[in-house]
Amino acid sequence: MSTELRTDTDARARTTTPVIADSATGISLTVQDGVAIIAYDQPQSPVNTLNSRIGPVFEQCFACIERDDTITGAVLVSAKVDSWIAGADIEELTHIRTAQEGETLSRNGHALLDRLAAMRKPVVAAIHGAALGGGLEVALACRYRIATEHVKTVLALPEVQLGLIPGAGGTQRLPRLVGLQAALDMILTGKNIRAKKAWQMGLVHELVHPAILREVAMTRVRDLAAGRTPPVKARVQSTSDMLLEDNAIGRKLVFRKARESVMQKTQGKYPAPLAALDVIQHGYAEGAEAGQREEARRFGALAVSPVCRQLASLFFATTALKKDNGLPDGMTATPRPVTKIAVLGAGFMGAGITGVAVQAGTQVRLKDASLDRLATGWKSVRDVLRERLKKRQITRLQMDETLSLIGGTTDYRGFGNVDIVIEAVFEELAVKHQVLREVQAVAPEAIFASNTSTIPIRDIAAAAARPDRVLGMHFFSPVHKMPLLEIIVTPATSPETIVTAVQYGRKLGKTVIVVQDGAGFYVNRILAPYLNEAGRLLDEGAKIDEVDAALTAFGFPVGPITLLDEVGLDIAGKSGPIMAAAFGDRMLPSESLRRMVEGGRVGRKSKQGFYRYDESGKRVGVDETVYALTPAGATRQRVAVEEIQRRCVLPMLNEAVRCLQHGIIRNARDGDIGAVFGIGFPPFLGGPVPLSRHAWSAHGHRTARCVERALCGALRAGGVAARDGGNRTALSSVTCRDRRCCRFLLLFSP
């Protein structure tokens, strides 16, 4: 440890108090007018995190404060610009090898924060920026908490998103501070709480402007030390809350309802929320000390669980992606600034893109063929903003200012100075060629980005005067909710164009992956065989709701049939022939889907799809008349859940590995991020690429006879791909007509 104790001359003249400075951790203690300032500035890191090295330094600070009678108390601050403490060091957590190691780490956290909570001199947490996970647990152990009323200041316990539970006492302190139901809402969802909401619920005592945070915090230290009561907002409990939370019977009901909700949302695939419920309930029944012991035990077990490992892997993948410029290794380019864009098409996708752009502060020129369509698009953006206003995420003034960034037009006036033009017009190549020529005539320097979901970008760029400025920016629906942006590049796309699009996509708040051009790109390409196989199950007599239920039980947020209804059967019908033309029979749409499209059923938007919908668009059950359109007719048969899952998921895994081998995606990381953030692939499985490594070992006992029957056929005909660059994965697309087995098969060479 590089801790250095030194005596500052001026400080000695005022207080004779030593100053602690630890260069390794970035923790320092100074004294100002009798108040200790503990500042944390983790070196070589944009944020402060908690690790095993900081505990002894904090202990030393606490001891110094306690033994020096000239110090009245302390303020805990961050020296980072817009971040307080962002939680535990995730990389350190991945080094935990046994449950006992994880339990010991949690117990050490308890000891440190119990020491902080027991300080006889007051410690005030002065919070500006994110106080997350262990950072919030540190604040909870302080006697008083002040937060800045600033957009960067959020508080959360997001451990469940990494497959963990709070491990430094958060499961015990938070419920006793804000109430059981509010605490469960935070711990079981991991959601961010903004500063004003935190004050309203009693999580922080006071809100101030960032400019006076430290000054007010020092005043509160002196008030507390002198026995004066600072301003504290009392937590308001409704009568129902008191009836539920202030007695054992009411709490039992709260826990039961919370457990039912968790099981409904997670299908039991994520152990952390259930463990958190157990630990909190144990603390209420046996006391906080027993609750902490149980917290440590369960934290240790979760830290080495497969789910935690996979979620941590996704965390590191998304973190690494934020630093990726989208270019091949070693290549660099300088992105152009983007302050104004144009969006072609004010329909559902065009309006969605416009909405996220203006919320990012970008001026948008929205073009469509008629004023009525423009008005509809503007209204769609307004509705999204109204929802944010209703949730008090923005003010009325902010809403009005955001809407003022939209300028509507039915021609190309105002396009001369746009930086990017995003095309979201009808999904026909001739239409896209027309608008591309028109755009490059009036805005030759602008990047032209197509939001097409299936048409190859090279085909669109064939009409371009500047193909180097053409790429795809594939947003997912609904744009304001879906986190992924897929940027599609061709060999002609310039590095500057790529890095500009990547940087702007991140400005929009999207997780960005860069993929090579090809039919369906990456996300829709791996989604197509999944949806097609679900349709084939209907062809053969499976029930609509049972297919959906099997895949939600697997871990998808919605089933494939529901997804088809949500996306629109007309869109799926248009993309099917494109995919089949590019990849052959394995991408042929099901007969059921073809007949649905021919029958004019397009899904929820027409209130006619595989499911029935009421006038408001709410789903009310399976439309039994659909079965008459399928090859199997009205006769339905029960198909085993496991078979439905294998038949739908394994083709997706196959296609993901193909995309990796064929260079559509640059690496497995991008493939996993694209699947999880783009189509809701179960995060607890890590993504399709890691899961594919286990597919053969997991299902070999059921598919061995498929292989035996296919050896002299598909495999010898070239179904198995050669090894690629040392990659041990070999791929087969064996088609099996024995419906007891999966249709597609992944093989791995030894």
What pLDDT, in 10s, does the model give residues 562-608?
A: 999 988 888 888 888 889 999 988 898 999 999 998 888 889 888 88
The two three-digit tokens of residue 26, written as one number:
């970035």
In a domain, 730, yes or no: no
Kindly tell me if the per-residue pLDDT of 51 is higher than 50. Answer: yes
The two three-digit tokens of residue 461, written as one number:
């760029």
The pLDDT of 668-676, averaged and rounded, is: 94
* Dist CA 240 CA 180 (whole Å): 12
pLDDT tens-digit series, residues 264-284: 988 889 999 999 999 999 999
- Give the long-range contacts of residues 409-412, CB within 8 A, separation 24 or more: 409/365, 409/366, 409/367, 409/374, 410/367, 410/368, 410/369, 410/370, 410/371, 410/374, 411/367, 412/367, 412/438, 412/439, 412/442, 412/443
**298 versus 477: which is more confidently predicted?**
298
Q: Residue 560's domain spans which residues?
A: 524-639
Confirm if 156 and 193 have CB atoms less than 8 A apart. yes
At residue 733, φ and ψ (nearest 5 deg) are -120, 60
Kindly tell me if the per-residue pLDDT of 346 is higher than 60. Answer: yes
Query: Does 543 lie in the same domain as 436?
Result: no
* Dist CA 255 CA 303 (whole Å): 24
Q: What is the pLDDT of residue 170?
A: 97
Query: Does 133 lie in the same domain as 17?
Result: yes
* Dist CA 68 CA 88 (whole Å): 30
pLDDT tens-digit series, residues 187-237: 999 999 999 999 999 999 999 999 999 999 999 999 999 999 887 766 666
The two three-digit tokens of residue 340, written as one number:
């104004």
**7 versus 60: which is more confidently predicted?**
60
Query: Does 492 lie in the same domain as 608?
Result: no
Q: What is the pLDDT of residue 693?
A: 60
Q: What is the pLDDT of residue 744?
A: 41
What rounded mean pLDDT belongs to the chain? Answer: 88
Is residue 478 reached through a cis peptide bond, with omega within 30 degrees of 0 on the bond before it?
Answer: yes
* Dist CA 508 CA 632 (whole Å): 46
* Dist CA 617 CA 572 (whole Å): 20
CB atoms within 10 A of CB 69: 7
CA distances to 512, 569, 570, 648 from 564, rounded to whole Å, are 24, 6, 9, 14
**CATH number of the CATH domain containing 561:** 1.10.1040.50
Q: In the listed set 592, 621, 639, which residue is the last one of a domain according to the structure?
A: 639
Task: Give the percent of the chain with pLDDT over 90.
Answer: 74
In a domain, 649, yes or no: no
Q: Is 551 helix (H, G, I), strand (E, B) or coil?
A: helix
In a domain, 238, yes or no: yes
Q: What is the pLDDT of residue 235?
A: 66
In a domain, 180, yes or no: yes
DSSP conformation letters of 399-453: HHHHHTTEEEESSSTT-TT-SEEEE---S-HHHHHHHHHHHHHH-TTSEEEE--S
Query: Does 65 lie in the same domain as 20?
Result: yes
Query: Does 284 lie in the same domain as 160?
Result: yes
In a domain, 99, yes or no: yes
Q: What is the pLDDT of residue 19?
A: 80
The pLDDT of 256-261, averaged and rounded, is: 95
Residue 486 annotated among the catalytic residues of the structure: yes
Query: Does 507 lie in the same domain as 364?
Result: yes
Query: Does 72 lie in the same domain as 184?
Result: yes
- Closest among 436, 546, 433, 448 to 494, alpha carbons compared: 448
pLDDT tens-digit series, residues 77-134: 999 999 999 999 998 998 999 999 999 999 999 999 999 999 999 999 999 999 999 9
Distance of CA 107 to the CA centre of its chain: 30
- Closest among 382, 389, 314 to 351, alpha carbons compared: 382
- Closest among 123, 130, 168, 129 to 145, alpha carbons compared: 123
Confirm if 665 and 522 have CB atoms less than 8 A apart. yes
Confirm if 49 and 88 have CB atoms less than 8 A apart. yes
pLDDT tens-digit series, residues 716-750: 333 333 223 333 233 333 333 333 333 344 433 22
Query: Does 205 lie in the same domain as 176?
Result: yes
The pLDDT of 450-474, averaged and rounded, is: 95
Q: In the listed set 518, 542, 571, which residue is the last one of a domain according to the structure?
A: 518
The two three-digit tokens of residue 567, written as one number:
């996306």
**CATH number of the CATH domain containing 426:** 3.40.50.720
At residue 169, φ and ψ (nearest 5 deg) are 95, 0
Q: In the listed set 614, 639, 664, which residue is the last one of a domain according to the structure?
A: 639
β-bridge pairing 729-731 and 746-748:
antiparallel
Query: Does 237 lie in the same domain as 366?
Result: no
- 44 Cβ contact list (under 8 Å, min separation 6): none
Q: How confident is the model at residue 617 (pLDDT cuts 50, 70, 90)?
A: confident
Query: Does 295 lie in the same domain as 274?
Result: yes
Q: What is the pLDDT of residue 231?
A: 78
**CATH number of the CATH domain containing 49:** 3.90.226.10
Q: How confident is the model at residue 694 (pLDDT cuts 50, 70, 90)?
A: low
DSSP conformation letters of 177-237: HH-HHHHHHHHHH---EEHHHHHHTTSSSEEE-GGGHHHHHHHHHHHHHTT-----PPPP-
In a domain, 733, yes or no: no
In a domain, 729, yes or no: no
Confirm if 157 and 190 have CB atoms less than 8 A apart. yes
* Dist CA 84 CA 76 (whole Å): 10
Query: Does 511 lie in the same domain as 371?
Result: yes
Q: What is the pLDDT of residue 732?
A: 37
Kindly tell me if the per-residue pLDDT of 2 is higher than 60. Answer: no
Q: How confident is the model at residue 246 (pLDDT cuts 50, 70, 90)?
A: confident
- Sequence-ordered strand ranges (E) for 702-742: 729-731
Distance of CA 673 to the CA centre of its chain: 10
Of these residues, 245, 486, 533, 546, which one is catalytic? 486
Helix (H) or strand (E) holding 367: strand 363-367
In a domain, 98, yes or no: yes
**16 versus 158: which is more confidently predicted?**
158
Amino acid code (one letter) for 203 = L
Kindly tell me if the per-residue pLDDT of 381 is higher than 80. Answer: yes
Query: Does 543 lie in the same domain as 488?
Result: no
- Closest among 26, 24, 8 to 16, alpha carbons compared: 8
Distance of CA 697 to the CA centre of its chain: 30
Number of structural domains (the chain) is 3
